[in-house]
Amino acid sequence: MDPPVKTKMFSFKDDLIRNLIAFWVFGLCNNYAYVIMLSAAEDIMDKQEDNNKNSNDSFCDVKITETHCSSVSTGAVLLADILPTLVVKLTFPFFMHRIPFGIRHLTVVLLQAISYFIVAYSQSVAMSLTGVVFASLGAGLGEITYLALSAHFTSGTVSAWSSGTGGAGVIGSFAYAALTEPKLANLSPKDALLAMLVVPALFALAYWFVMVPSPSIHKANPIHPKTWLIPVRIASTSMEKINKSSISVVSEDAWAAEMPIREVCKGRENYVEQRILTFDEKLALVVPLLKYMLPLATVYIGEYLINQGLTELIYFDCSHSFHLSRHSQYRWYQVLYQVGVFLSRSSVNLFRLPRWMLFVLPVLQITNAVFFAFDAVYFFIPHIWIVFIIILFEGLLGGSSYVNTFDRIHSEVAPDTREYSMSIASLADSLGVAISGFTAIPLHNFLCNQQRFRISS
């Protein structure tokens, strides 16, 4: 005898809540190491064999009489943090559909734990950058894995994932800034990184103990090697109601009326198998995704030019910086940026941006980057609180672009290609970050020379 409808509803609702929590934790933990490495960028570049402690970072500059330029821009850390991710996103979507999600998840957790150990115990910049590479590999594999995994659940998991990635920025950058801030915990970068090892443990728990797996997810058995690859004949399936609106572009009204719990209740028994795509078909599917990918990539170019090429060159003396040291100013820039990202990535369930706004966001972000580039030379911003507000706005733009882009892809692409579309579209943000990383290094060097000329004169 079938359970009463109300019992089913409560069961589905409990499962939905658990899955939304799991995807939020996935986003949090997946991006956490990435955020920590960028927040620690100046410490990594300035690290000397005998100064693992913040001995020279306790005081602000009474007056700015010289430039403070790293010999290498933090863009170098950005490249180490993004190029492995870019390689993963360029290659893995073409074959990873054969790898069970459980194996992918275990790999991501191990890569992130290893990265913390390497950077914490490194004795050189090269060794530190190796640790950053491990974090990047884990983050890249994780993003395409969990976005693809969301194809097996309701669209609410996309917003939960995006909110979690924003939460990683806030919690990660704030935690690192607070742990290493001389006026707070005053830990060395090494001890701060070791304290972060709790995150991979939480990551593992979320997948195996919190998430309620969809019946469409292939389960690997550790003691049966035959289950370590997904058979081609069953491929991968995604959970979706079978109707015409799921095949074509979903209208604004249909999206607004969508009820996640109703999707779960009515659609759980119906699955749309993911098409087994040839290499040429996969390449062809990228073309209709470009209208989502190009604006997102442009936003990220401006965003990371600011974060890793410009903000380290924008600093203030004691009276105009709340008496924060130069390193502390850089860290709190990162915190406020991540607050903006978190707020905007958590916003899609409250309001959804119209499609045309996806093309306005890149223009606004590039404008921010140009504004900061001029200030890095002319120092015309009178107080650090103005920079704080603009950086918060920068984060709002970046987070809005990310969450609205992937929410639209999940809602609008054909359900039988959704898993592949979600994973390959994530290439856009990484490509934008990589371009900005290569650009940030010469831009940093040029602006440093301009600063030296103006300060000396």
Place of tokens 């983050």: 139
User: ∠ CA(302), CA(282), CA(354), 5° rounding?
Assistant: 45
**Mean local confidence (pLDDT), 180-197:** 80
Whether this prediction's pTM lies above 0.85 is answered by no
Reading the block at residue 314, the tokens are 């924008």
Rounded to 5 degrees, what are φ and ψ at 272? -105, 115
Q: In this model, does residue 258 exceed pLDDT 50?
A: no
Contact 81, 37 (CB under 8 A): yes
Give the E-state strand segments of 211-286 in sequence order: 237-239, 271-273
Contact 453, 320 (CB under 8 A): no
Residue length of the chain: 457
CB neighbour list of residue 442: distance below 8 Å, 6 or more residues apart: none
C-alpha 377/C-alpha 369 separation (Å) is 13
Q: Who wins on pLDDT, 175 or 51?
A: 175
Q: In this model, does residue 163 exceed pLDDT 80?
A: yes
Reading the block at residue 82, the tokens are 């993004």
Q: Which CATH class is domain 5-47+65-221+275-449?
A: mainly alpha
Reading the block at residue 411, the tokens are 């809602």
Of 145-159, 293-307, 399-413, 439-453, the poorest mean pLDDT is in 439-453
Give the pLDDT band of residue 358 (cuts 50, 70, 90): very high
The pLDDT value recorded for residue 64 is 67
CB neighbour list of residue 370: distance below 8 Å, 6 or more residues apart: none
Q: In this model, does residue 251 exceed pLDDT 70?
A: no
C-alpha 165/C-alpha 218 separation (Å) is 25
The pLDDT value recorded for residue 37 is 74
CA torsion through residues 333, 335, 339, 341, sign: positive
**Mean local confidence (pLDDT), 435-442:** 85
The pLDDT value recorded for residue 386 is 95
For residue 297, give the nearest of 35, 82, 114, 77 by alpha carbon. 82
CA distance to 4, 12, 155, 183, 403, per residue, from 255 (Å): 29, 21, 10, 48, 15
C-alpha 79/C-alpha 354 separation (Å) is 33
Q: In this model, does residue 77 exceed pLDDT 80?
A: no
Identify the top-confidence range among 110-119, 129-138, 291-300: 291-300
For the chain, what is the mean pLDDT? 79
CA distance to 241, 244, 255, 282, per residue, from 31 (Å): 31, 36, 28, 27
The pLDDT value recorded for residue 46 is 58
The pLDDT value recorded for residue 249 is 43
C-alpha 302/C-alpha 312 separation (Å) is 15
Reading the block at residue 148, the tokens are 């693809």
Give the pLDDT band of residue 262 (cuts 50, 70, 90): very low
Give the pLDDT band of residue 66 (cuts 50, 70, 90): low
Give the pLDDT band of residue 437 (cuts 50, 70, 90): confident
The pLDDT value recorded for residue 447 is 87
The pLDDT value recorded for residue 272 is 66
Going from N- to C-terminal start, the domains of the chain cover 5-47+65-221+275-449
For 3-35, write each residue's pLDDT tens digit. 554 555 556 678 889 999 999 999 999 989 877
C-alpha 48/C-alpha 59 separation (Å) is 19
For 277-334, write each residue's pLDDT tens digit. 888 888 899 999 999 999 999 999 999 899 877 888 888 888 877 778 877 787 788 7
How far from chain centre, in Å, is Cα 341?
10
